[in-house]
Amino acid sequence: MKPIIFLLSDQKELAEAITKECGYERGDLTIHLFPDEEICVRINSSVKNRRVILLLSLDKPNDKLSSLLFVAATLRELGAQEIGLIAPYLAYMRQDKQFNPGEGISAKYFASFLSNTVDSLVTIDPHLHRFHALNEIYTIPATVLHASEAIANWIKQHVENPLLIGPDQESQQWVTDIAQRIGAPLTVLEKQRTGDHSVSVSIPHIAQYKNHTPILIDDIISTARTMIETVKQVNTILKQPPICIGVHALFVGDAYEALLKAGVDKVVTCNTIRHPSNAIDINGIIAQWLISSAP
Ligand code: R5P
């Protein structure tokens, strides 16, 4: 029997892509919030001996964790055979070392929570920096899918003569992969973050690319300070305003508006997190992976 999927966040199109392309059944559940804000989960579909897939992108993760915990526990109580989580955005990956005395390594604790709650995980381009693979911290099978082909295709279709720019060393992995796919030149800058909203980036040596369209590529856009500082630097050297591409559109507070006003041509993201800038579809990547990995 095919798995049954439950949607726990606003990834409606992803749920539709999976039901349509993989023929999975769509499950129904309700989460009731009591006046004291305790929650009560009710699974309205039969899950006994079924493989279950939960769809939940983990931006703004803290409130989502209790729902995930209670949904997974209820599914097990009702006899679900196996619970997989598809989280197009995986949170807490940037807290991958002890940055200050007295702090912990949240990436590890989050991995431990998810590994104890579900049986497998699929995600798109998690922020793998000091950890090089999810299995260094996850004890369940954890699959990483990539948006680079979809981003490369978008660039091929929309931009002539692109020059790819990564704002920091972590971005090198994505920028290099995409540049190779489209045969574009690339440069990667040095970034220094001195606070949540405070970033500086090195001067890009790109004066020889006067006739190129600069494309800034990063995995996560959160406060957008990284992108904004990079845009400022690029605009001092090249005439053509840059296109900013992010995989995960976190955009906290007024970050999106601030980036749009920073002197960009446009801002484009993948739909791992629902946002007005979404223009690159990753739902097909997940659906195709489910088809190819079906037992
Ligand atoms: C960190 O290294 C990530 O790759 C991003 O560069 C970072 O999360 C962007 O954050 P912000 O938008 O707050 O500058």
How many helices (H) and strands (E) are present in the chain, helices listed first? 8, 16
Compute, in angstroms, the gap from residue 41 CA to the centroid of ligand 1. Answer: 35
Pocket test for ligand 1, best of 222, 225, 247 (most atoms within 8 A of CB): 222
For residue 121, the CA-to-ligand 1 centroid distance in Å is 23
- The predicted pLDDT at position 72 comes to 98
Residue whose CB lies within 8 A of the most ligand 1 atoms, among 95, 219, 247, for a mutation test: 219
**Strand ranges for the chain from DSSP E:** 4-7, 25-26, 29-33, 39-43, 51-55, 82-87, 120-124, 142-145, 162-166, 186-188, 191-195, 198-201, 213-221, 243-249, 266-270, 278-280
Query: What residue ranges line ligand 1, CB within 6 angstroms?
Result: 94, 127, 168, 170-171, 199, 218-226
Question: Tens digit of pLDDT per residue, the chain (295 long)?
Answer: 899 999 999 999 999 999 999 999 999 999 999 999 999 999 999 999 999 999 999 999 998 999 999 999 999 999 999 999 999 999 999 999 999 999 999 999 999 999 999 999 999 999 999 999 999 999 999 999 999 999 999 999 999 999 999 999 999 999 999 999 999 999 999 999 999 999 999 888 999 999 999 999 999 999 999 999 999 999 999 999 999 999 999 999 999 999 999 999 999 999 999 999 999 999 999 999 999 998 7
Q: What is the pLDDT of residue 204?
A: 83
Q: Kindly give the number of the ligand 1 atom that is closest to the alpha carbon of 193.
A: 14
Indicate which atom in ligand 1 lies nearest the CA of residue 196: 13
Residue 265, classed as helix, strand or coil, is coil
Ligand 1 atom at shortest distance from the alpha carbon of 221: 12
116/113 Cα distance (integer angstroms): 5
Say if CB 225 and CB 219 are below 8 A apart: no
pLDDT of 162: 97
Contacts of 259 (CB under 8 A, 6+ apart): 221, 224, 227, 228, 231, 244, 251, 267
**How remote is the CA of residue 222 from the centroid of ligand 1, in Å?**
6
Q: Which residue owns the Cα nearest ligand 1 atom 7?
A: 220
